[in-house]
Structure 1
């Protein structure tokens, strides 16, 4: 099946539209719930330019940045996972498993802790530029280390990527622990909360960098659809079909890494989105690889739904008016699926 045929495959198209519609519906619900509950019709009225001043403040300034960040982070993580799984032909090769997120997190935590003021805040420039830039550099460095150490007989061994990635992630996590120990208590607390993966108190300064990354890199990734289709068949076949394998792999690897790093900078290392969304999208689409746009919409849906549960789950269960980090919810959903994938791989051997 060619890239063009997959792009217009009815099942894939319908799934993508359905996931997008559900994500939008959940986003509207998320905008309506909170300390001040609003009717969905009032939310829609505000989004279309109407509404009174108080409602507009709640929706546009307090809630929409959080919801937008969640949607964009879900897209970025999901597409990153889809690209890495396709390139490695390994369903376990997601940025949170192979160390990309851990590298990005370590670099970002270094900025939070070392550039902190001791009051839990960092300077405006460090917050707006330093954290995203550090996350990208840390993610790229982790990817480089995993790639170099995974080379066997002149080529990257897909089977070694996950094992070496786990080791790189462990090293990065130990660096994070050290930074939290030496840092100011307030700054370290802020970093620890960020590490759980949270959308709490997100502002437009968090959403905009992730949005720009998605706006630029998702269309760029889609231009490599033909290369991705060929790479699924193996490097030799892809080369015979005219794909410049090394160049395509490098470009797609950079795209995947930057997407994951920017998502991590925006909301912390939200676990398992990049692992679960591509695999579910691929299975539902009955495709030979995770379809990018369908995966992107499912990622947005997954994070938005998880954030709704994180914000309201404990209150519904009458445990208390507390919020969970969204990463706790995604981890609770994703960990069993990871065990399922590992078990399936073991049975396949």
Structure 2
């Protein structure tokens, strides 16, 4: 007698089908998040144990110093790290489903480059700092997304092929503009902007936490509801339409939601490479899911970001690296492995 591969949850006439392997993967990822979060709160120049963390949570902080370090420094950094990773994982899953391409992530097709352009213009041209950089990055990403969508649109429709190619082209132009802004800007301002471009969670406060998490909480529900018709669209627009799926409307609103999530993450941390690309693919492969698992991608994105942050904090020889550089290295190795694996499976010489 074999074990059923799926689990069905029923409540008051509603039913939810869950793949058993994907469910266990999500439970493991959530457990890793809990362990990693506890570790992140403990690490630092001021050693803090689990008992002291619990005392702060229950309102019985052992000292004002411990409470300040946990509440004002480490907790905002942790929430920004997890929130940005979750937002990027969710955004990547939506983009890859729409583009039907494992390379269809917001950092590959130019949206994070657009966020960086908006932030650089505000920092270098207008000399802006603080929360306004967040707004400028979001504006840059949204304008880039609208531009890519309009350029990829033909005969009232946006094909996955045109979306990816248009995004890559627009991204290349924006990267060149970003490099030009850094070269032409004042040296001190350019150095500050370059630090932002490296991607970092150092010094993040509650002003970075609230916009990111409010946007994430508000959009996760619609993203989950939209993944079912989006999955049907993977069969092709001509087949999904007769099944009752409003193809262009679903694509447009899901693109907008994914773009906002990518913009929120980028505005909070700076450009973070490869998390949006790798998280959905890892969740799909390890969970053996036929379509992009949104919850798995969200949890995997958060775990990748948190793992990269922990690596930067325990690196030997006092080696300090921005989290964006760490995810770039990890993502580059993953991409090489992915391409090499496909090459071997296809029997290429």
Provide the residue aligned with 1:136 in structure 2.
138
1:299 to 291, 298, 301: 301
Superposed displacement of residue 78, structure 1:
0.5
Superposed displacement of residue 155, structure 1:
3.9
**Which string of whole-angstrom CA distances, capped at 9 and with x for unpartnered residues, describes residues 280-325 of structure 1?**
0011111122211111111111100100101221xxx3x22x4210
Q: TM-score if structure 1 supplies the norm length?
A: 0.89
CA 1:5–1:177: 2 relative to 1, 3 Å: farther
Secondary structure of residue in 1 paired with 2:86: helix
Distance in 2 (alpha carbons) for counterparts of 1:342 and 1:133: 36
Provide the residue aligned with 1:230 in structure 2.
232
Query: Does the alignment pair 1:186 with 2:205?
Result: no
Larger radius of gyration: 2
Distance in 2 (alpha carbons) for counterparts of 1:341 and 1:206: 34
Q: Can you give the 5+ residue segments of structure 1 that lack an aligned partner in the other structure?
A: none
CA 1:150–1:190: 2 relative to 1, 3 Å: same
Distance in 2 (alpha carbons) for counterparts of 1:269 and 1:7: 36
Query: Does the alignment pair 1:8 with 2:29?
Result: no
* Correspondence 1:182-331 to 2 at 5 A: 182-313=184-315, 317=316, 319-320=317-318, 322-331=319-328
**Which string of whole-angstrom CA distances, capped at 9 and with x for unpartnered residues, describes residues 18-38 of structure 1?**
211211210110110111121
Alpha carbons 2:124, 2:185 under 8 Å: kept: yes
Distance in 2 (alpha carbons) for counterparts of 1:205 and 1:17: 30
Superposed displacement of residue 81, structure 1:
0.2
Alpha carbons 1:76, 1:214 under 8 Å: kept: yes
2:119 to 105, 108, 125: 108
2:65 to 54, 57, 66: 54
CA 1:23–1:143: 2 relative to 1, 3 Å: same
2:76 to 46, 59, 65: 65
2:330 to 318, 333, 339: 333
Distance in 2 (alpha carbons) for counterparts of 1:11 and 1:221: 22
Q: TM-score if structure 2 supplies the norm length?
A: 0.89
Query: Does the alignment pair 1:38 with 2:83?
Result: no
Superposed displacement of residue 151, structure 1:
4.3
Distance in 2 (alpha carbons) for counterparts of 1:342 and 1:44: 45
CA 1:307–1:195: 2 relative to 1, 3 Å: same
Distance in 2 (alpha carbons) for counterparts of 1:310 and 1:164: 34
- Bigger shift: 178-187 or 239-248? 178-187
Secondary structure of residue in 2 paired with 1:8: strand
Distance in 2 (alpha carbons) for counterparts of 1:281 and 1:15: 8
CA 1:101–1:6: 2 relative to 1, 3 Å: farther
Alpha carbons 1:91, 1:341 under 8 Å: kept: no
1:172 to 171, 174, 182: 174
Superposed displacement of residue 342, structure 1:
4.2
Alpha carbons 1:277, 1:302 under 8 Å: kept: yes
Alpha carbons 1:103, 1:138 under 8 Å: kept: yes
Distance in 2 (alpha carbons) for counterparts of 1:266 and 1:163: 27
Superposed displacement of residue 7, structure 1:
5.3
Distance in 1 (alpha carbons) for counterparts of 2:176 and 2:58: 48
Query: Does the alignment pair 1:20 with 2:22?
Result: no
Alpha carbons 2:99, 2:164 under 8 Å: kept: no
